[in-house]
Structure formats: structure tokens, C-alpha cells
A and B are shown apart, each in its own frame.
Chain A
């Protein structure tokens, strides 16, 4: 299992504030990095697929950047809203024959009104 780490494990944000958190992954043999949004008792929902160094993706108030050379990705939430409360998972896919996905443990975001 490849080491994919997310930090912090959890964070609390005041409504309207912006926040960001990190996903670290092996920098060698990179193929793709995925971000998922996971609400309690629901199944994870795909946010972004990132494949190129320097990639930036945006979906509403959520955006992500990718640095494959140093092995990290940031997820940003601008102007956090209570509905942004969820666990955000990243998953690393190396270049391999079976395209195995390795998930981080997630960052749980709680937005306080």
C-alpha cells in the first residue's frame, strides 16, 4: 500500500472563512490524483481528477492544485458554508498494470455557522 497522507486530520472553520488542506503522495511513478467529498452515511463523491503537474481544478468555491514533482496537492474551500462540512479524501494512482488506488485517511471539515 502506497503512503498517502492527508493533513490536518480535521479542522473547524467559521462560516465565510476560507481554508485549505494537504494531500501528500509518492512523487515517483505518478499517474493521477483524485479528490473525493464524503458526507457521513453517504458514498464518496468524486470532485477532481488531476493528472498534470501544475494542474488547477475548480468546482464552485472548491479548487485544487497539484505538484507532482514534490508529491502534494492542496484543496481550497473559499468562503466556507455549512454544506461544505464533509470528509475530503484524496487518492493516488501510480502508473502500474492494475491502476491501484491508494486513499488517504481524509480531512474532516466542520463549518460552524
Chain B
């Protein structure tokens, strides 16, 4: 158990809908990262938050948004969902210092 909690584990929704994925980082970790793994794709970086502030954006679609709250948990909002958004979404957190990132178990999103 990495200490990073993602909910829900599985999500099935229809095209055009909006969903929210939640991530609770390890206690004390200020950084939260979101990644997407689509079929046959590697780990695609979406966005990085540090202590509530957005620090870096990757290949994140305009239909997607994220935020990190004062208690450091983060939410990834996906709207106007398309079939191609079906993927495994990972959240990771890391503390300051040399320690690396700890990954959650992922949320598997299926858009039908």
C-alpha cells in the first residue's frame, strides 16, 4: 500500500458526461501528479500541483481540469467525455526531497 488513495477504482459512464476522479496523497506530501494510461500508450503526464498551485501541465485536454485543495487532496475533472478518454488514470504524490513519487492504484474509466 503506497498510501495514495484514488477513488473510485472503476467508473463507467456515457459519452458527453462529466466525471470527477479523486486522489488523497500520502500524509505530508505536497506534490500531486496526474497521469493517463490509454490502451497501448505509456504513462502520459497530465498535470502537477504543488501545495495547492498548478506547477506544470502536460498533454491535458481543455475538457479536463484539476485542482488541489487546502487539505492537499486533488480532483481531476473530465467533461464532455469521449470514447477515447477511456483509460487508467493514476495519481501520484511525492514529498520534498529525494524521495520519489508514490502511485495510487488508479481509476479505470470506461466511456461507452
The answer to whether B24 has its CB under 8 Å from any CB of chain A is no
A79 vs chain B, min Cβ distance (A): 26
Selected contact of A51 from candidates B51, B88, B92, B98, CB within 8 Å:
B98
Report yes or no: A32 in contact with B98, Cβ–Cβ below 8 A: yes
Interface hub of B88, B92, B98 (most chain A Cβ within 10 A): B98
Residues in chain A near residue B48, CB distance under 8 A? 98, 100-101
A105 contact from B43, B51, B55, Cβ within 8 A: B43
C-alpha spacing A103/B2, complex, angstroms: 18
B25 part of interface (Cβ distance < 8 Å): no
A108 → chain B closest CB, angstroms? 8
Question: Which size bracket describes the interface of B in this complex?
Answer: 20 to 34
Cβ 8 A contact of B101, one of A34, A41, A98: A34
A residues near B, CB below 8 A? 1, 31-32, 34, 36, 38, 41-46, 49, 51, 87, 89, 91, 93, 98-103, 105-106
A-B contacts besides A44-B101, A49-B99, A103-B35, 6 pairs, CB < 8 Å? A43-B2, A43-B103, A44-B90, A44-B92, A93-B100, A105-B42
B binding-site residues for A, Cβ under 8 Å: 2, 30-31, 33, 35, 42-43, 45, 48, 50-51, 55-56, 58, 88, 90, 92, 94-106
